[in-house]
Amino acid sequence: MEDQENRESKTRRARGRPRDWDDKTDQNTIKSLDRAMAVFEYLSESQGKALSDLAADTGQSPATVYRILVTLEGRGLVEFNSHEQSWSIGPRAFVIGARFLRRTSLVERARPILRKLMQDTGETANLGIEQNGQVLFVSQVETHASIRAFFPPGTLSQMHASGIGKALLAQMDPDHFIRLLARQTLTRFTPHTLVDLPHLQGDLRLIRARGFSIDAEERNLGMRCIAAAVFDSHHEAIAGISVSGPTSRIDDPQIAPLGRAVMQAAQALTDAIGGSAPPVVPQDRGRA
């Protein structure tokens, strides 16, 4: 009986992984693939890089990096901008990432919630996550109105100038927040963009107290966005839900009711994935 169990165990192991699974020495790594992944991961964090910069930053020769990029380009994982002579992540990377999101069921569970939010508010509903210090929009349900916001899945936006981005920043661990901002420049997109750190931190405190964020023409003039964070089972903000539209419809009297609707949608998705919001910190101590 014991021999049979041992044979079955070996069979299961062979199907799922090789005998030397735990051996992580050089003989079991593909160095060229490892170099390629290093370039790909670096490019995902630093969009729009020239070949010479990529080579210098990754410590590889321009010839090697070029071969890697051409290979990845053939798979749609990166793309080349001939006008700017720069390389960026390609659409295939989002397709692969979207498959992971479907595996985690976040996008799938969010769809009916986004649809209801759009129907209740009449505005475009969005779902976004943090991706390498930016907001990656992963799902959207558009309004039927002729004037509307449009953030197709795969769109990236800087967090400080995004409703979802600020909702996530407001819940971020202080150390993570500091490290993230140390790697970025607070770009001014409009006269309303918060590029002064004390002003941004003040806005984040208001967001935590209020429960939702407001992008008041901070990314695009004439457009507003209201967002709230979605939490996992570890009380961590892993996504944000928002509604976005023109200021002609999202005027000051609409902010409070839209904020309540967005918070209800974010709570519904939090519940759907088995999550819960973190406990309230008295007087918001220790936060950015």
For 240-280, the pLDDT digits (tens) are 999 999 999 999 999 999 999 999 999 999 999 888 888 76
The mean of the pLDDT values for the chain is: 85
If you average pLDDT over residues 201-210, what whole number do you get? 95
What is the rounded CA–CA span in Å between residue 60 and residue 49?
A: 14
The proportion of the chain whose per-residue pLDDT surpasses 90, expressed as a percent, equals 55
Looking at residue 279, what DSSP letter applies? Answer: P
The pLDDT of residue 285 is above 70: no
If you average pLDDT over residues 122-140, what whole number do you get? 92
Sequence-ordered list of residues with C-beta below 8 angstroms from that of 88, at least 6 positions apart, any chain: 43, 47, 48, 49, 78, 79, 81
Q: Which amino acid is at 33?
A: L
What is the rounded CA–CA span in Å between residue 158 and residue 160?
A: 6
Residue 285: other Cβ atoms inside 10 A: 6
Q: Do domains 2-89 and 105-284 have the same CATH topology?
A: no
Q: What is the pLDDT of residue 7?
A: 52
Q: Of 183 and 82, which is predicted with more confidence?
A: 82
If you average pLDDT over residues 221-250, what whole number do you get? 94
The proportion of the chain whose per-residue pLDDT surpasses 70, expressed as a percent, equals 84
Q: Given the structure tokens 């509903």, which residue do they identify?
A: 125
Q: What is the pLDDT of residue 164?
A: 97
Residue 70 has which token pair? 């051409």
Q: Of 184 and 64, which is predicted with more confidence?
A: 64
Ranges 14-28, 122-136, 140-154, 270-284: which has the least confidence: 14-28
Instruction: Give exposure, 124-150, as e/b (b: 16+ Cβ within 10 Å).
Output: bbbbbbbbebbbbbbbbbbbeeeebbe
What is the rounded CA–CA span in Å between residue 210 and residue 283?
A: 13
Q: What is the pLDDT of residue 14?
A: 46
pLDDT band, very low/low/confident/very high, at 286 (cuts 50, 70, 90): very low
- CA geometry: angle at 167 spanning 166 and 171, to 5°? 105
The pLDDT of residue 221 is above 70: yes
Q: What is the pLDDT of residue 12?
A: 47
What is the rounded CA–CA span in Å between residue 246 and residue 234?
A: 35
pLDDT band, very low/low/confident/very high, at 29 (cuts 50, 70, 90): low
Q: What is the pLDDT of residue 80?
A: 92
Q: Of 17 and 38, which is predicted with more confidence?
A: 38
The pLDDT of residue 4 is above 80: no
The pLDDT of residue 159 is above 50: yes
Q: What is the pLDDT of residue 21?
A: 43
The pLDDT of residue 95 is above 90: no
The pLDDT of residue 13 is above 50: no
Residue 253: other Cβ atoms inside 10 A: 8
Sequence-ordered list of residues with C-beta below 8 angstroms from that of 24, at least 6 positions apart, any chain: none
Largest CA distance in the chain: 76
Both ends of the chain: CA-CA distance in Å?
A: 61
The pLDDT of residue 72 is above 50: yes
The pLDDT of residue 140 is above 60: yes
Q: Sketch the domain layout of the chain as residue ranges.
A: 2-89, 105-284
Q: What is the CATH number of domain 105-284?
A: 3.30.450.40
The pLDDT of residue 101 is above 70: no
Architecture of domain 2-89: Orthogonal Bundle (1.10)
Please state the φ and ψ torsions of residue 128, each to the nearest 5 degrees: -140, 155
